[in-house]
Amino acid sequence: MAAGPDSNFNPDMEFFVDMQRCIGCRACEAACAECETNGQEPMIHVNYVDRAHSVQTTVQVCMHCEDPACANVCPADAIAKDGNGVVHSANTSRCIGCSNCVLACPFGVPKKMEAAELMMKCNLCYDRTSVGKKPMCATVCPSGALFYGTREEIRKKRPNSDPVNTFKFGAQTVHTKVNIMMPKGSTELRVH
């Protein structure tokens, strides 16, 4: 699934996520279900962080890892990363629905569609981004939790934050294509 020469993917535009700004309105979920690559099924995740104690919500898109754990653990070679660094949803004829990717993704992204025995996940709205448009979710987010644009734009918009794309999960470091907004000067986000 390498991007063909006719692909108009704009490498200057990037995804910047600030989940602390998420208000749980689920506009992105509705927009995601409009994406033609996943046919009416929203792939974005919106959920309460700790429902018993707070109303904080979080939003999660695929981070498009440099060395994706999901693709590594797939026994069917169903997940591929293309030349633009986009990690695609499972190849429909190969995926055997084993859920390895669902459990191994450090960001909890892939979804297993039980009846269809198929994994599906966010593919950065490839139908849109491959022609230079923004992903659906980022066009509707009212709170700025999801932003898709250039580094220049985000620097102006969020002068006191820095985008980070290095994450630590225990002993594991993960580098991603998608950024998370952190306090200025941060270079990584340690999760555990």
Q: What are the residues binding ligand HEM (CB under 6 A)?
A: 92-93
Q: Is 79 among the residues that bind ligand SF4 (CB under 6 A)?
A: yes
Q: DSSP assignment, residue 6? A: T
Q: Tell me if 64 contacts ligand SF4 by CB under 6 A.
A: yes
Neighbours of 172 (CB within 10 A): 11
Cα–Cα distance for residue pair 65/50, rounded to 1 Å: 26
Token reading at 67: 């060395």
Q: Is 55 in the site for another protein (CB under 8 A)?
A: no
- Rank residues 89 and 179 by Cβ distance to ligand HEM and give the closer one: 89
Q: Residues in the chain, how many?
A: 192
User: In the range 111-150, which residues lie near another protein by CB under 8 A?
Assistant: 113, 115-118, 123, 126-127, 130-131
* Residue 160 in the binding site for another protein (CB under 8 A): yes
Q: Measured in Å, how far apart are the chain's first and last C-alpha atoms?
A: 34
Among 22, 32, 35, 105, binds ligand SF4 (CB under 6 A): 105
Query: Count of residues binding another protein (CB under 8 A)?
Result: 72
Classify strands 45-48 and 111-113 as parallel, antiparallel or unpaired: unpaired
In angstroms, give the least distance from the CB of 150 to another protein.
19
Q: What is the DSSP letter of 87?
A: B
Nearer Cβ to ligand SF4, position 52 or 115?
A: 115
Dmax over CA atoms of the chain, in Å, equals: 51
Site for another protein (CB under 8 A): which residue of 90, 141, 154, 181? 181
3-state secondary structure of 140: helix
Region near another protein per CB under 8 A, out of 25-33, 134-142, 147-155, 158-166: 158-166
